[in-house]
Chain A
């Protein structure tokens, strides 16, 4: 049986851990609010842009390099993970899924673009080719990251270096749920126009002209998509961290309860033992 001294030491240590996880949970909650605000604030722009693009794409026969389908099969797979750990199964689930897909040859000729330290560390020791990695983007995500990465993907695509670009990330569904999402970014699949009666049939006047507008809309659309993915992943990361740190805090609490119980038992047993010793010692003297 452990001594009471050992037990108090362990209880103190678990309490320390609990304080840390609790603080991390609070910080994650605050960061989650900010990340969610970023998602919400960016949404009107993204929604309007995709509505306008759907409209234009619907009404023009124009082709554009970013819409071109090629059968080459050379693919960039963009993996968006986090820079920091301690966020539950956030990274593990995503990375495992991707590794499984890669091993099953879902994309026979894929190269990886990894965003986030966790994915970078993971693929460093595996045999998949990594063409580009970023280890400090997710920690200080800004509104310039989407356009920057988007421009990089578009350049690789239009120059013919790759034939498709896919992106894999954790989509923020709710605080308790993140969904692994793997979708195609390039060539652009124009969003389907809403069949809403109010606007059906509106034919726009284009200024300067439809081709020019399409050429300006498409890159903006890609940039916005990438930015949306990054924001989503950042929000999902904080949500995941908040939940897992909440669970850790609860577990620490249960452990403290169990240890305190054991401590009390041990203490009582020690006292009882001493009493017995004294009593039997006194009896021995009296006899």
Chain B
């Protein structure tokens, strides 16, 4: 059995990460889930949220939104619409996005609701991952 996971994060724009890690935590559609080597094959859709991976004592986080993850015993492939490393996140922009989305949320129609909630979640995740304070 494999004792490491090969993690790959790809977005429509590029391949973001390709590393070997010990554990991955994904923002699954039904809640956060941890994946260790030897996991049974799984396909899940992803919500907006933080993706964390552990390599020894090194912890790395990404803000991801949307898409899918394919989990195999020795491999995790994440297909995300957006995946950002802490260094790439513009906290100020995320904050203003968050505010704008929350404003709109006050009088949103039913169809806008999903999109706006996702936008709020993404902005929150971005701020959190980038090391700003938690906003919940």
In the assembled complex, which residues on chain B have CB atoms less than 8 Å from the CB atom of A224?
12
CB distance from B78 to the nearest CB of A (A): 9
**How many A residues touch the partner, as a band?**
20 to 34
| Interface assignment of A86: CB less than 8 Å from any CB of chain B | no
What are the residues of chain A within 8 A of B45 when measuring CB–CB? 207-208, 212-213, 216
B82 to chain A, nearest CB (A): 11
Asked if A213 contacts B43 (CB within 8 A), the reply is yes
Q: Does the CB pair A208–B42 fall under 8 Å?
A: no
Q: Give which listed residue, A205, A216, A217, contacts B42 with CB less than 8 A.
A: A205
Q: How many residues on B have C-beta within 8 angstroms of the other chain's C-beta atoms?
A: 22
User: Are B70 and A52 in touch, CB under 8 angstroms?
Assistant: yes
Q: Mark B78-101, 1 if CB is under 8 A from A, else 0.
A: 010000000000000000000000
Interface of A is mostly: helix
The verdict on A261 contacting chain B, using a C-beta distance below 8 Å, is no
Q: Is the CB of B68 within 8 A of A42?
A: no
* A49 proximal to B (CB < 8 A): yes
Known: A204-B41, A212-B45. 20 other contacts (CB 8 A): A42-B12, A44-B10, A45-B11, A45-B79, A48-B70, A48-B77, A56-B43, A146-B12, A202-B41, A202-B72, A205-B40, A205-B41, A205-B42, A206-B43, A207-B43, A207-B45, A212-B29, A213-B44, A217-B68, A220-B79
A residues with CB within 8 A of B: 41-42, 44-45, 48-49, 52, 55-56, 143, 146, 199, 202-208, 212-213, 216-217, 220, 224, 227
